Structure formats: C-alpha cells, structure tokens
Amino acid sequence: MTTLKINTPKGEIEYSTIWQGKVILIIHGGHVNCKERIFQKGLDAKRFCFITPSRPGYGQTPLTKFNKTPGGTADLFISLLDALKIPEVIVMGISAGGLTALEIAARHPNRVSKLVLMSALTKKWFAETDKLYKGGRKAFAPGVEKYTWLLYRLSFLLIPSAMAKLMFKQVSTYRPIEFTDNEIKELKHLTMNMRSGQGFRNDLDQNIEQGILSEIKCPTLILHSENDKAVDLSHPNNARCNISNAKLVAFKNRWGHLLWIGEDYILILSELKKHIESYINDDN
C-alpha cells in the first residue's frame, strides 16, 4: 500500500492506493483514515485497485469550510479522480462515509459504475439532543480524542477481553456476548490504529438532502446488520426505498456494525463479491 498527498483544485487530500485492476473508491467511516485496510478484507488486490482517501478532518486531509459537508467532500474526491485520470469507479461507502458516497453517486453519475453501502448512514445520524451526540462531541473533540484513544489502546493491552466486551456492546445488539480470540485480535488491531482528529465531530453534524437518493441510478448494494447498534435499520431501509436500483441484504452477524469481524463475514463477503465482480464482467 502506498500513502500519498496531492493538491487538487478542491484542496489537499491524503490517500492510499493498491494499484492493480478496476478501481474501487473506498469512503471510510469514523475514527480511521486512508491507512485502514479492513474494508478491503477478502477482496483480491490483483483484480481491483483500491483508492482510499482520508475524509476531511481525518489523517492528513484538512477539514475546511469547503469540504465539511458530504457534498463538499464528494467534489473533493472527484477532483482526486480527475488528478489521477480515473474516469469511472465503483464507490464503497462505509458507516459515516455513506453520506459522501451517496453524494458522489447522485452528483457525478457518469463517474460511478456501482455503489455499495456497508453499515452506512443515509441521513443525519443523531439529533443534537441525543445523549450519544452530546457524548460523542465531548469524548472525540479535537484536543481530547487523542487521550480517549490512548486510554482505549492502553486498556486493550491490559484487559483485552473486557475491552472487546465493552466495544461489542457499543456496536451490536446480539446476545449472548461472545467472541473468539482471533476476533479480539482483529478488534485490537483496528482500535490500535484509530484516531478521530477533527473528522468525527464533523460527522455528527453531517446531513444530506434526502431528495438526492432518488437521483441515484447506478446499481446499488446495501449490506447491513440487523444487530447494528451504531447505525439502525432506518438507514438501509431509507436507501432501499428511495434509490430506484437498490438491493438490501441484511445479516444477523454477531458483531453488528462491524461487518468485517468474525466468521460471519464470509456470507457478507460473498454478496459483496457478486456485486463488485459483476463490475468487471459488465466491462468485458
């Protein structure tokens, strides 16, 4: 994986690439950046080129007044594709990155072959009166978040099983709470790389005009967990009902919002592969 920075007419962007094959533009979720590779899990790097920009406020992509909205971020990422001379991609929107993915598909339809939404937001996340909104703004505020994640990482080193249980409760409604040693290892690796920067606090305030969903015409696959505690089922149902060419596949995986952790991912990966590999077949 190569990590680079580039200046475009819409601003500076940090991004990572694994160059080979058809292009998938990965719009990552909260608390991570372009260096996170879990979203590529199980996909063949010899068949696809993965391009993952750090969303504004994450990693080394600055948050500005021009890119703080999903629409502004969409235009920023299209400027990245222009700079790299990439005419068309499949867009994969993850969690809080879902709003930007929707904006790209609606605003730049000639650049998007297919759309995938995984555990994705499709409307505003929380009301400003919600306890999770207020708590998230405090715990992951710039200047505070580095200490929050330092505490998380230290706790994972000292009491990994207890921390896995705590995070399980935050992302999944599945009961009983159970996980394997390998799942703890995956979760620990994910947590060790997490930072929120200015990005997550901005995510809590992001929203889109709901009318844009009806403007999306490309084939759209929505993958979501019935046990997702972080992003409830109203989000995938919203996309399914308002995107004309959308298919929703819901799973009962144990890890809920974290679709990529555990053996349950095998079924999820199968659906994902069918959708994106048809991208190759359609182009032949």
Instruction: Go through the domains of the chain in sequence order and give each one's CATH number.
Output: 2-125+207-283 (3.40.50.1820)
Q: What is the C-alpha separation between 115 and 121, in angstroms, rounded? A: 14
Average pLDDT rounded to a whole number, residues 96-106: 98
pLDDT value at residue 280 = 61
Q: What is the C-alpha separation between 10 and 126, in angstroms, rounded? A: 29
Average pLDDT rounded to a whole number, residues 120-149: 96
pLDDT value at residue 157 = 94
Has 161 been annotated as catalytic? no
pLDDT value at residue 34 = 97
Average pLDDT rounded to a whole number, residues 52-79: 98
Check whether 278 has a pLDDT greater than 90.
no
- Between 284 and 270, where is the model more confident? 270
Check whether 1 has a pLDDT greater than 90.
no
Check whether 281 has a pLDDT greater than 70.
no
**Run of H or E including 107:** helix 98-107
* Cis amide bond preceding 176, omega within 30: yes
Check whether 284 has a pLDDT greater than 60.
no
What DSSP designation does 55 have? P
Average of per-residue pLDDT values in the chain: 95
Q: What is the C-alpha separation between 46 and 30, in angstroms, rounded? A: 27
User: Predicted confidence band at 45 (pLDDT cuts at 50, 70, 90)?
Assistant: confident
Check whether 182 has a pLDDT greater than 60.
yes
pLDDT value at residue 23 = 96
Q: Which of 104, 107, 119 is nearest to 29 (CA)?
A: 119
Q: Which residues, 6 or more positions from 46, have their beta carbon under 8 angstroms from its beta carbon?
A: 20, 21
User: Predicted confidence band at 271 (pLDDT cuts at 50, 70, 90)?
Assistant: very high
Average pLDDT rounded to a whole number, residues 171-184: 96
Q: Which position among 16, 54, 79, 95 bears the catalytic label?
A: 95
**Residue 66 and residue 10 in contact, taking contact as beta carbons nearer than 8 Å:** yes
Position 249, amino acid: V
Q: Which of 29, 146, 41 is nearest to 97 (CA)?
A: 29
Query: What is the three-class DSSP state of 60?
Result: coil
Strand-pairing partners, residue 112, are 89
What DSSP designation does 54 have? P
Strand-pairing partners, residue 224, are 250
Position 202, amino acid: N
Answer yes or no: pTM beyond 0.85: yes
Check whether 282 has a pLDDT greater than 70.
no
Share of the chain above pLDDT 90, in %: 93
